[in-house]
Structure 1
Amino acid sequence: MPGTGGSVADGGELGQEDLVRQWTREVIHTSYVPMGRPDVEAFLAECVDDLLSVLDGGPVDAARGIGERLVGAHLTNSAALARTLRHLATELPKIRETDPLRLIEALSELAAGFAGVLREQTLREQEVIQRAVSDARDAAEEALRSSEARLRAVFTSSALGIAVVTLDGVVEESNGALARIFRRPESQLVGGTVFELADETWLAQLTGTIAELAAGVANRSFLDIRYTAPDGAHVWTQLSASLVRDAHGEPDYLVLLYEDITDRHMLQEHFRQQAVRDPLTGLANRTKLGSSLDAALEPTRPGRRVGLCFFDLDGFKAVNDSLGHPIGDRLLRQVAQRLEAMAVAVGAVAARMGGDEFVVLVPDSSGAGPVIDLVERLLREITRPVLIGAHELSASASVGVVEREVAGTDAGALLRDADITLYRAKSDGRAQWVLFDPERNAAARDRFKLSAALPAALDQHELFVEYEPVIALASGRLVGAAANIRWDHEEFGELGEERFLGLAEETGLITRLGTWALQQVCEHAARWVKRLGPEAPVAAVHLSPRHCRDPELVADMQRILRETGLPPQYLALGLPESALFDHQGDPVDTLEIFAEMGLWLGVYQFGGDYARLPRLKGLPLGMARIEGPHLDSFVDPDGPDPLDRHLVAAACGAAQLLGLPVTAAGVRDRLQAHRLRELGVSLALGPFTGGLVSATELEQLAS
């Protein structure tokens, strides 16, 4: 809407105008600009339009032209560039959603264009200075006084540091700007060498440049140099060195002109760091980790190895939820600092993947043992308590560790295997490390494949429902059908629900999958009732804990019964005991609603916790289902294990006291069924009752 100052997409033209006006205020007084404010605003508005085109996918190098145009408009002061970059980096995301890396890249190109054109202007000024110096030295005697006056004027007025230097690098003359740039008195400069004005890393390049000029191999040379001032500050300069020849064309002396580019360099370095550093913790980000991985995986020598440790903080969400994100962010920074300190000490790279996930890359590892030793030391450091405000917090982490030869692997495989191994560490109990195991990770990869493919499988009708007949042990009559979801998977073949329902529960797809299953089962059961009448079996569906908490479950159930026309007494819902009660321990309202609708309700995995069975008194339940390995010994010809028999007898006794008939799942043969019936089991399903059949086959069995 007009006047909102929002993004461009929602009427953000005014927002863009505000950005231009603010930009104008930032830069208009930094330099002499031969334009009035309206003209400056119009000029900068064009620049913003061009920059937005770049951010929208245009060529990034077009941003370089914007920097060049700023210099052309006489906005040449370094403060103009610094304020421009800060302003655009802060304000552009407010008017246009854009990729932060794309913005950094575009602003870096803008700065490069600005610096390039400014350098050309500087070189032209340098040529004037160099001609003045040469003229002052080579002019005839009668013009010497005026030439020297001209040279003095250039020396004293130029913002560039100027040094007249012998061929072996000794400073013979210097101006005040040179002393200001290098923060040394002129008395220390004259008589010293230019090699004293460069840090050791840049000394070899400077020495070579001076040697080439002194030998007459080159007439001019350019390079950027860093110098550490007496106060410890780093000074970056752009050096233009020129050779002056004598009347015979032989090398005579050198003129060196230094431009202070410290602000520009630091700003560009800031943007470079933003591109490779995590803004919250200062650790390497994904981009930097990627380049470090590429370097670590270079097969520079036979047998080179690499280690990758994937950390995930345990229970970090609870810190954010209970203490707030500012406390959580400070905890992340503390953990990051500890990881970084220990990683750097051993030549490793610590990076933040996002959220509460970190990676430590160990190039040139010497085996799994040393990497695991590092991980254990890192875990001890992470768990050391940290005081944040009034809170003493102690973090813990789970770690997936991969250590292998570089040959035959790549960055994607290394990260994927570390991620899967981390998942195993968290599944096995957290606050521990787990080392990559090919066989177990292959199984975990299969789980990930199934998890990723499950939504599409539901859409593409790869799932179907089959049924286990449920018989009454007293009469042998088929009285029910327990639904079992199957998946016809292209790679893994036909899969039972035990392979994927847990994944659906973890990812949240179980609600959609469970609703689909209810629809399918009710359609089948409605057809059985229509064709078999009162003799139709009751269809049973298990609901998962997450599906039971779905606020739309009751409405979905009512809609499905209405659409299919299934009488509710022909549908039984199996509920986990944990889903029968809310957080306060009171029965959930869903139970009464379903009971009033006429549905059968049962509890599965009955007897898992005998201390909680009294809570079931008074609930509108009609069945208890037992299952598990303690039923297996009932097939033994010598009789069941005494402990197994006791567990089954106790469950059946408790169910009898609650008035619930007992169904046993996984019953394999007649002997097992007979023994279970003696203990109070009334219904059975499993291989003994015929195994899985389709809806049509079940109808034939029932008829």
Structure 2
Amino acid sequence: MGGTVATTDASPVDRRSLEDALRASENRFRAAFVDAGIGMALVDRDDLIIEANPALAEMLGHTVPELIRRHIHELMDVEERPRRVYRELVRGERDRVRLEKRLRHRQGHAVWTNITVSLIRDSSGEPLYTLAMVEDVSEARRLGDRLHYQAMHDPLTQLPNRSLFFERLAGAFAEADQRIGLCYLDLDGFQAVNDTLGHHVGDELLVAVARRLEQRFAARGHLVARMGGDEFAVLVPRSAGSEELTALAAEVVEILGAPYDLSGQRVAATASVGVVERPVPGTTPTELVKDADSTLCWAKTDGRSRWALYDPERIAHQMTRQVLATTMRPALERGEFLLEYQPLVDLGDGTLRGVEALVRWRHPDFGRLAPDRFIQIAEETGAIVPLGRWVLETACVQARSWLDRFPDAQLFVSVNLAARQFWDSDMVADVAEILGSTRLPARLLQLELTESAVMGPAGRPVEALHALAAMGVRIAIDDFGTGYSNLAYLSRLPVHVLKLAGSFLEGFREPRPHAGPRPDPSTTVGAGTSPGAHVNGSAPRGAADEKIVAALVGLSHVLGLTVTAEGVESAAQAERLRATGCDTAQGWHFGRAVSAEEIDRMLRA
């Protein structure tokens, strides 16, 4: 007899126990759901809310029944990526998603939330519902927005600051097919306002400037930013061309030039503007701002209270100047400079009396540079001091060599000095040391200075001139006639030579007027006049210049000075200068600046 195994369902007692446990669990879940401090909702597979707790209802300004059966898109905007991720969750491809979403409050304002959406599956593992837990982070979001605003805006003027400007500029450059324009500006003499009226008035001025710029240009879609200090920028992301930008710059100059009423005072201020406008391709944000800043400097240099438009040729010249300024001192150490010598000739007998030492720069990139390309830069940077000493020493060494080999010539060398050499170095000590080391007699050294270097108030240069003259060094005033031209003042200085500016020789290029009766003006009406003709009773230019030069020469001789004419280009000019009593001359007629070897050949001849 075979036995059997009997299977029976759970007893009624066990089923009741299980049901009681499930109800208790459900009650606990519902209590937690209803009493939770964060918003919660159950959403079915059709995106309809089937359960919502009071925290979520309060968060959105609704009651719980009002939320039931609402579609979630009525409460939020779902962008493409979050929508895609959410559909993956609903299909069971994900179990949890975290989102930062902006929900719509019943009263219309935004509620920023962090939402965690979890998938609830049935007993077979199929997706059943989604549970959304919603945390209100609006206050934290507002705090973050405030901090971001403060980080991106100027606290004084409330304008976008430098950081936000460059962020917007980068965004404008993302549109590759556009043109872009920038007006970069600052206030003229702003520091004087701070110094004389106080920083509080300076701050009021900056705020007033910001308001004028913002009211005029922000409404047009332009970005107005404070870049720092008294510098502002107006960015035009989609420029219509340089004409639009220059018109805008003219507006800036106009509106900022009107007086300001600040702290009960009427304050005048002006602005200078640098303008750059170009296509986005081929440039970068950094280059755009750099070029605008350089162009602003041009507006300042050109007179202030004006605008300047970016000029590639001018910027190239500026860059060349910068290269020369930074490489000059190393170039001196590398031996890139050389001296050439221009003859100074006695107009009486044609004898070579001296030479003027002229420095040249053999630049590895720019080729052979004349002094007018770099001397001013040397003076501005202070490089004129070591360069000037090198020129002086090199010229004295060469002059000593000529004295040793051609003692009868007694050839002197003339060296140009800049005023800065007197202020930044001990010129007297330098000259004494160089004359001592080269054994060159002081009488064979002539130092040339411009009028402006010696005609100012008494001080170090004047004291140094007296000391140098006491050594026996000759002192010459270069380009006489272009500055103060005060012979009376010169009489009190230890000056030995006047070098007349080349402008005095302009009339000497005209032929001498023919002797004879003065022509009847009535016979020359409508006819061309010859260079030497009288016009409306005036003297010919050449005759007038000749009289002026003769007068200067005569006065100079009375004061014990010799006179050198510069820029002589023809034998006729040389003859007419000799007739005025001029002592010596230099210029292309007598020879251009040449190497020391060429001067050797002249001395041998």
What range is the shorter-chain TM-score in? Answer: 0.7 to 0.9
CA distance in 2, matches of 1:348, 1:264: 28
Pair 268,541 (structure 1): closer, same or farther in 2 beyond 3 Å: farther
Say yes or no: does 1:140 pair with 2:14: no
> Which residue of 583, 588, 592 corresponds with 2:463?
592
- CA shift for structure 1 position 400: 3.6
- CA shift for structure 1 position 369: 1.3
CA distance in 1, matches of 2:201, 2:429: 41
Pair 414,191 (structure 1): closer, same or farther in 2 beyond 3 Å: closer
> Which residue of 212, 235, 256 corresponds with 1:382?
256
Superposed counterparts of 1:568-583, under 5 Å: 568-580=442-454
CA distance in 2, matches of 1:654, 1:278: 66
SS, match of residue 495 in structure 2: coil
- CA shift for structure 1 position 486: 0.5
**TM-score of the aligned structures, taking structure 2 as reference length:** 0.74
- CA shift for structure 1 position 290: 5.6
- CA shift for structure 1 position 220: 2.6
CA contact (8 A) 2:412 2:444 kept: yes
CA distance in 2, matches of 1:228, 1:234: 5
Cα-to-partner distance string for 1:428-469 (whole Å, 9 max, x where unaligned): 333322334455555455444434443332232111111211
**TM-score of the aligned structures, taking structure 1 as reference length:** 0.65
Partner of 1:260: 137
Q: Which structure carries more relative contact order (alpha carbon 8 Å, separation 6+)?
A: 2
Deviates more, 1:495-504 or 1:557-566: 557-566
Say yes or no: does 1:225 pair with 2:101: yes
CA contact (8 A) 1:468 1:482 kept: yes
> Which residue of 238, 255, 265 corresponds with 2:114?
238
SS, match of residue 429 in structure 1: coil
SS, match of residue 662 in structure 1: strand
CA contact (8 A) 2:34 2:53 kept: no
CA distance in 2, matches of 1:389, 1:658: 61
Partner of 2:538: none
CA distance in 2, matches of 1:144, 1:525: 113
Partner of 1:125: none
SS, match of residue 603 in structure 1: strand
SS, match of residue 583 in structure 2: strand
CA distance in 2, matches of 1:594, 1:231: 88
Partner of 1:13: none
Say yes or no: does 1:462 pair with 2:372: no
Say yes or no: does 1:607 pair with 2:506: no
- CA shift for structure 1 position 663: 2.0
> Which residue of 366, 374, 377 corresponds with 1:503?
377
CA distance in 1, matches of 2:104, 2:266: 41
Partner of 1:678: 579
Bigger proportion of residues as helix: 1
CA distance in 2, matches of 1:564, 1:138: 119
Superposed counterparts of 1:75-224, under 5 Å: 140-149=22-31, 155-156=36-37, 161-167=38-44, 168=47, 173-174=52-53, 191=67, 218-224=94-100
Count of residues in Structure 1 that have an aligned counterpart in Structure 2: 551
Pair 606,281 (structure 1): closer, same or farther in 2 beyond 3 Å: farther
CA distance in 2, matches of 1:601, 1:236: 84
CA contact (8 A) 1:526 1:564 kept: yes
CA distance in 1, matches of 2:402, 2:171: 66
CA distance in 2, matches of 1:361, 1:465: 50
Cα-to-partner distance string for 1:635-679 (whole Å, 9 max, x where unaligned): 232465456456545654664565433222211122112223434
Partner of 1:118: none
> What value does the CA root-mean-square deviation take over the aligned residues?
4.5
SS, match of residue 100 in structure 2: strand
Partner of 2:510: 636
Partner of 2:386: 512
CA distance in 1, matches of 2:105, 2:382: 60
Which residues of structure 2 form unaligned runs of 5+? 1-18, 513-531, 533-540
Pair 410,573 (structure 1): closer, same or farther in 2 beyond 3 Å: same
- Structure 2 counterpart of 1:594, which letter? L
Superposed counterparts of 1:644-683, under 5 Å: 644-645=545-546, 648=549, 651-652=552-553, 655=556, 658-683=559-584
CA contact (8 A) 2:452 2:484 kept: no
CA contact (8 A) 1:244 1:254 kept: yes
CA distance in 1, matches of 2:443, 2:64: 102
- CA shift for structure 1 position 496: 0.8
CA distance in 2, matches of 1:256, 1:569: 101
Partner of 2:537: none
Partner of 2:308: 434
CA distance in 1, matches of 2:427, 2:411: 24
CA contact (8 A) 1:668 1:687 kept: yes
CA contact (8 A) 2:179 2:239 kept: yes
SS, match of residue 474 in structure 1: coil
> Which residue of 306, 321, 331 corresponds with 2:180?
306
CA distance in 2, matches of 1:278, 1:391: 25
CA contact (8 A) 2:451 2:485 kept: no
Cα-to-partner distance string for 1:302-329 (whole Å, 9 max, x where unaligned): xx42323343544456556767878767
CA contact (8 A) 1:195 1:206 kept: no
CA contact (8 A) 1:481 1:539 kept: yes
SS, match of residue 676 in structure 1: helix
Pair 577,298 (structure 1): closer, same or farther in 2 beyond 3 Å: same
- CA shift for structure 1 position 493: 2.2
- Structure 1 counterpart of 2:495, which letter? L
SS, match of residue 589 in structure 2: helix
- CA shift for structure 1 position 333: 6.3
Cα-to-partner distance string for 1:607-628 (whole Å, 9 max, x where unaligned): 2345865444412222222224
Pair 257,538 (structure 1): closer, same or farther in 2 beyond 3 Å: same
CA contact (8 A) 1:171 1:190 kept: no
Partner of 2:279: 405
Which residues of structure 1 form unaligned runs of 5+? 1-136
